[in-house]
Amino acid sequence: MHRTSHAQPSASSATTADGRRENHAVQVGDIAPVSVVIPCYRCVHTIGHAVASVAAQTVRPAEVLLVEDGSGDGTLEELHRVAGIYPPGWVKVMAMPRNSGPSAARNRGWQHAVQPWVAFLDADDSWHPQKLKLQMEALAEDTQAVLIAHDMNEQTRTMPPPPLNYPVSATQVTAYRLFLLRTQFPTASIILRRDLPFRFDETRRLAEDLLLWAQILLSGHRCIRLNQVLASYHKAPYGAGGLSRSLIAMNKAVVEVRRELHQQGLLNWWLWRLADAVGLLRYLRRWAITLRRRRDDVMLAQSNEASS
């Protein structure tokens, strides 16, 4: 499916749990019918940049929900300061009673979202200015899709957005592509239907996003992906810091997710075992990349020492 230059609004609708008829028409105008959910934990120095990337969208979302996750520092005050920069009511701030993890924070924001579509962004990531415009145009064309994703890259906050890759196109994601070809569903790339009967697993701190996207996909819902880089990480991969440091823990979490999907009857035995085998190869490759980077860092440090 290739994006046309002038997308028409879709006419899809659905019945919610309380019997209300909810319209999911996608109109690409100045304001997108999207609620943006950003979990916020000790993000005083990054949240301003993240929200600014949302405000810089060529098609702005209808609302932004900042969910403070029991940081215990000045994060909540910073969120209110950031909200005050923008028009009243556009950025809404809410606070969790205690630190409960990103899954609980995202679910809280999802619960309070009022738009038919929900997008996610982490407080230390940012969006390309064309992200919402391109994704909403694709959803307007593909009226059966309930989730859309795209690629992300890694770059510093001061770098300009990556160039678009023409022609812009969207393809359907299958279980085969998700588990064997490892089609990426980065959280900051996702827009999904608000009324989907799924939520992030709040008992998990790793791979909880993979579990959710797989549950949606394997339950028979249509998921699509744009061939564009429309969001950026601002941290190094494979062990440079944070949760990405623990490759062992992450690999274990992904293995557990595949097992759970099989137990739920969503992933057949053959694909489960094949995905485990392919996943093991990827895990070993990541270790090789991590060890090489650490070696290079040591050699660079030694070289700098010798020259000083």
Q: State the helix-helix crossing angle for 269-307 and 247-263, rounded to 10 degrees.
A: 170
Query: CA nearest 259: which of 211, 307, 222, 223?
Result: 211
pLDDT (tens, 9 = 90+) of the chain, 308 residues, equals 444 333 333 334 444 444 444 545 555 568 999 999 999 999 999 999 999 999 999 999 999 999 999 999 999 999 999 999 999 999 999 999 999 999 999 999 999 999 999 999 999 999 999 999 999 999 999 999 999 999 999 999 999 999 999 999 999 999 888 888 667 799 999 999 999 999 999 999 899 999 999 999 999 999 999 999 999 999 754 444 434 457 888 889 999 999 999 999 999 999 999 999 988 988 888 888 878 877 887 888 777 777 76
Backbone torsions φ then ψ of 277, nearest 5 degrees: -65, -45
38: left (phi over 0), alpha (psi -120 to 50) or beta: beta
Report the amino acid identity of residue 7: A
pLDDT, the chain, mean: 87
Helices (H) and strands (E) in the chain, counts: 8, 11
pTM of the prediction? 0.84
With H, G, I as helix, E, B as strand and everything else as coil, classify residue 232.
strand
Chain centroid to CA 30? 23
